[in-house]
């Protein structure tokens, strides 16, 4: 790839530093307003403002000097790492590794996260560590240019931060860490219900393939922390295998280049994020497809399409499409005409989609659930405003995915991707990408979606495959402007997730578990666990008879789709006060507007789940630290909020 000149690189680096520092100063004033303190009376806020302001002046001053006679002195000062004595180079490796780890470590500290929570501040700090890492890497490998060292540092930083963002989930905290975590533990147990509960229960309605992958810890009654570790490990393994599988289709002699491309693909896929059950429709095809072996291609198609049928509806055609794209990219037309060129891709895509649909239909009666409880997303509302910046996803789906995919979209023409394809082939690939893009947009606008870019996964994966062929097939060097965007855009998305270490009061949580166990022992009737069902599945609570109906994620799905048959069954059981107690997170009768994150989802839950429960049940015992409430029937009958 091309490299910017020394002038351009350092001027852009200084300008970018000054701009980020200025945005950080703005974020500091916003922080002071949020904390309701005078920014000039608080020593902490004043110190932050002083640091950011000083950085603006230093970077801006250095930038202005590069346009005069002091240019070489400025550059010489900035490149001082190239003149260090060789005796000091042994310390560069530990320093570089420490720099990669500092950012995620700092953001595990609640105090640091509270002070430096603004988007500008977060990326400014990320950027400063990247500059420090660039200098250390330049010492380690003097052959690297400064732009290459900075790009490599940013990608490695991004990979480390994404990796670190998942590690706090591995904890022995007994209650659910988030909205859907307990479902990820409970649904896999249904495939082994006779072993775990002593009787057969219906299988999961949502994402069967995902929950099949999460069943192994139940084979040997693993503790809760192991279930969490398994989810993290299998995510890294399966998603991570896509990168070497894709690169296996190219001959890459430069090991350093190969390593950093692997890291970049890892960052790209985790920035989406790609769900852990979907790679099984990607990396086997990338590794095993052979353009000259039709029989083997059909075998791969069948296996991947069966998995697709147990996965997501919008992924039904993906195995056929991936095989079609690989075939179009790796073969040349041998006969003229549309039929001769496209009968294979058409046959693979149609056959794979039909097979996936047939598998999904076969699963419905086997699962033991009502047919009307499947494909509920087809009837749920479209929230058009989520295309644009909103409270649920700040960038908005359309600007977000355009920014996310912009570097690869620019890479395609820069590498002359069409020159390696026939006119019809390039039109077919463009049509596939456009179709997947539009489909992902519609799925993202569905209520329950739109909080990130994960519903654009099919489009993003296909774009990655096409761009990889454009990159490795072309002899043209990638323009440094495109290479810079490839790095900076991924770093921008990757610097954001970091939840911090899970801290909890063991004594308080154990007291909550003891109280729940005592309630189970003392209650003669049925107890409905709407959430926290992993406590039953993993025998953390003893003597509980599972009620398979009305799990929280199922309830939320049916509420968003307004599934009348399901919701009427629920309301009938609630109004008859069938359950002696209900265990769920705190229920509030509080409607929200679209200016709140997940406002419509909240309203569907309140209207169709929380309100019926609150009409017929009252709070009896609350454990606020663990967000668990026990509701019992109202003695006076119906009394709605």
d(CA 95, CA 136): 7
- pLDDT band of residue 613 (cuts 50, 70, 90) is very high
Q: Which residue's entry shows tokens 């996936």?
A: 356
Look at residue 87 and tell me whether its pLDDT is greater than 70: no
- Token pair listed for 265: 């693909």
d(CA 32, CA 27): 9
Lowest mean pLDDT among 10-14, 195-199, 472-476, 542-546: 472-476
Task: Determine how β-strand 628-633 pairs with β-strand 581-584.
Answer: antiparallel
- Taking phi first (over 0 means left), then psi (-120 to 50 degrees means alpha), and beta for anything else, what does residue 199 get? beta
Look at residue 615 and tell me whether its pLDDT is greater than 70: yes
pLDDT digits (tens, 9 = 90+) for 329-375: 999 887 777 888 999 999 999 999 999 999 999 999 999 999 999 99
Do 515 and 623 touch, CB atoms closer than 8 A? yes
d(CA 582, CA 519): 11
Strands ordered across the beta sheet of 617-623: 527-529, 581-584, 628-633, 617-623
- Average pLDDT value for residue range 229-258: 96
**Which residues in 202-238 are b (16+ Cβ under 10 Å) and which e?**
ebbbbbbbbbbbbeebbeeeeebebbbbbbbebbbeb
- pLDDT band of residue 86 (cuts 50, 70, 90) is low
Can you give the three-state secondary structure of 560-618, one letter per residue? HHCCHHHHHHHHHHHHCCCCCEEEECCCCCCCCCCCCCCHHHHHHHHHHHHHHHHHHEE
Q: Looking at residue 453, what DSSP letter applies? A: S
Do 458 and 125 touch, CB atoms closer than 8 A? no
- pLDDT band of residue 110 (cuts 50, 70, 90) is confident
d(CA 215, CA 317): 26
Alpha helices in 474-529 (DSSP H): 480-494, 506-522
Do 341 and 333 touch, CB atoms closer than 8 A? yes
d(CA 185, CA 498): 22
- pLDDT band of residue 261 (cuts 50, 70, 90) is very high
Do 342 and 323 touch, CB atoms closer than 8 A? no
- pTM (two decimals): 0.95
d(CA 25, CA 45): 10
Do 325 and 295 touch, CB atoms closer than 8 A? no
What pLDDT does 292 receive? 92
Q: Which of 163, 127, 130 is nearest to 149 (CA)?
A: 130
d(CA 86, CA 84): 6
- Token pair listed for 511: 């007291």
The length of the chain is: 641
- pLDDT band of residue 377 (cuts 50, 70, 90) is confident
């Amino acid at each position: 790839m091309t490299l910017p000149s020394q002038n351009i690189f350092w001027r852009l680096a200084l300008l970018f530093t000054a701009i980020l520092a200025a945005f950080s100063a703005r974020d500091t004033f916003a922080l002071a307003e949020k904390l309701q303190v005078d920014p000039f009376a608080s020593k902490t806020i004043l110190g932050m403002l002083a640091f950011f302001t000083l950085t603006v002046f230093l970077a801006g001053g250095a930038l202005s000097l590069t346009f005069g006679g002091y240019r070489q002195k400025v550059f010489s000062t900035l490149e001082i790492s190239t003149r260090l004595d060789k005796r000091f180079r042994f310390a560069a490796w530990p320093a570089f590794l420490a720099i990669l780890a500092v950012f995620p470590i700092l953001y595990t500290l609640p105090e640091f996260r509270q002070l430096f929570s603004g988007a500008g501040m977060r990326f400014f700090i990320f950027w400063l560590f990247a500059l420090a890492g660039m200098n250390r890497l330049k010492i380690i490998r003097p052959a690297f240019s400064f732009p290459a060292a900075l790009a490599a540092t940013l990608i490695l930083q991004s990979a480390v931060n994404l990796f670190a963002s998942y590690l706090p989930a591995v904890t022995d905290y007994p209650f659910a860490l988030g909205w859907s975590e307990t479902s990820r533990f409970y649904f896999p147990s249904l495939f082994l219900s006779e072993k775990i509960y002593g009787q057969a229960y219906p299988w999961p309605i949502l994402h069967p393939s995902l929950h099949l992958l999460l069943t192994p810890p139940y084979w040997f009654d693993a503790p809760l922390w192991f279930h969490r570790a398994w989810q993290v490990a299998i995510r890294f393994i399966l998603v991570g295998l896509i990168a070497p599988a894709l690169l296996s289709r190219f001959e890459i002699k430069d090991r350093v280049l190969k390593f950093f491309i692997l890291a970049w693909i890892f960052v790209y896929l985790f920035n989406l994020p790609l769900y852990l059950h979907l790679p099984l429709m990607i990396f086997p095809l990338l590794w095993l497809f052979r353009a000259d072996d039709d029989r083997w291609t059909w075998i791969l198609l069948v296996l991947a399409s069966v998995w697709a049928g147990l996965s997501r509806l919008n992924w039904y055609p993906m195995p056929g499409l991936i095989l079609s794209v690989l075939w179009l990219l790796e073969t040349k037309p041998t006969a003229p005409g549309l039929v001769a060129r496209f009968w294979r891709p058409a046959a693979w895509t149609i056959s794979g989609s039909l097979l996936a649909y047939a598998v999904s239909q076969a699963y419905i009666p086997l699962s033991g659930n009502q047919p009307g409880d499947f494909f509920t997303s087809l009837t749920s509302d479209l929230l058009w405003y989520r295309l644009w910046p909103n409270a649920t996803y700040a960038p908005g789906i359309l600007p977000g995915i355009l920014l996310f995919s912009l570097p690869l979209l620019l890479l395609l023409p820069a590498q002359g991707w069409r020159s390696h394809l026939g006119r019809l082939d390039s039109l077919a690939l463009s049509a596939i990408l456009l179709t997947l893009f539009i489909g992902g947009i519609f799925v993202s606008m569905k209520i329950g979606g739109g909080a990130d870019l994960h519903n654009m996964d099919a489009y993003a994966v296909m774009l990655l495959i096409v761009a990889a062929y454009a990159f490795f097939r072309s002899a043209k060097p990638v323009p440094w402007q495109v290479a810079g965007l490839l790095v900076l855009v991924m770093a921008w998305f990757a610097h954001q997730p970091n939840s911090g270490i899970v801290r909890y009061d063991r004594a308080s949580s154990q007291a909550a578990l003891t109280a729940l166990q005592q309630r189970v022992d003392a209650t003669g009737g049925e107890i409905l666990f709407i959430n926290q069902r992993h406590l039953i599945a993993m025998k953390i609570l003893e003597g509980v008879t599972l009620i398979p109906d009305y799990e929280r994620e199922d309830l939320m799905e049916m509420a968003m789709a307004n599934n009348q048959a399901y919701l009427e069954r629920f309301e009938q059981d609630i109004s008859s006060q069938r359950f002696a107690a209900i265990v769920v997170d705190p229920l509030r009768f509080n409607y929200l507007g679209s200016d709140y994150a997940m406002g419509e989802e909240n309203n569907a839950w309140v209207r169709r789940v929380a309100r019926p429960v609150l009409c017929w049940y009252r709070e009896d015992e609350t454990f606020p630290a663990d967000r668990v409430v026990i509701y019992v029937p109202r003695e006076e009958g119906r009394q709605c909020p």
